[in-house]
Amino acid sequence: MYGVNKVTIVAFAMMLCIFLQTNISKADTFLAGDANGWGFQLNGWPNGKTFKTGDVIEFKYPAGAHNVVKVDQAGFNSCNGAGGQVFSSGDDKITLTKGTSYFICTIGQHCANGVKAAVTAN
């Protein structure tokens, strides 16, 4: 009896490991703006698409031409990057947390001209 329980526990632990590993590997990377990258050609990307918590959004743009600032909803609506988290490498990979993340470019009037994206992760 004791032996059977031990086998059951080991089997369960192995299944748990496989399950966790599968979940981790399910995270995907998406290019902000798809092939156009992060800039004036977003055309409304991501157009209401939803992503998974843990997915990565990669923001590609010529360094210095744009930036990526993670802001709250108010900052997103008003294109105000104050207090936001700034990324400026030209190839910024940002992991999504659950809920909606708001990203804007704070250079010039870029945000007002559409360089902004609200990304929702389930």
Q: Which residues bind to Cu ion, rule: CB under 5 A?
A: 66, 105, 107, 110, 115
Nearest alpha-carbon partner for 111 in 66, 54, 73: 66
Between 60 and 66, name the residue whose CB sits nearer to Cu ion.
66
For the four alpha carbons of 28, 31, 100 and 44, in that order, the dihedral sign comes to negative
Q: For residue 31, which of 12, 43, 45 has the smallest C-alpha distance?
A: 45
Nearer to Cu ion, 31 or 107 (CB): 107
| Smallest separation, CB 105 to Cu ion (Å) | 3
Q: Which is nearer to Cu ion, 107 or 121 (CB)?
A: 107
Name the minimum Å distance from CB 65 to Cu ion.
6
Q: What stretch of H or E contains 101?
A: strand 99-104
- Least gap, CB of 66 to Cu ion (angstroms): 3
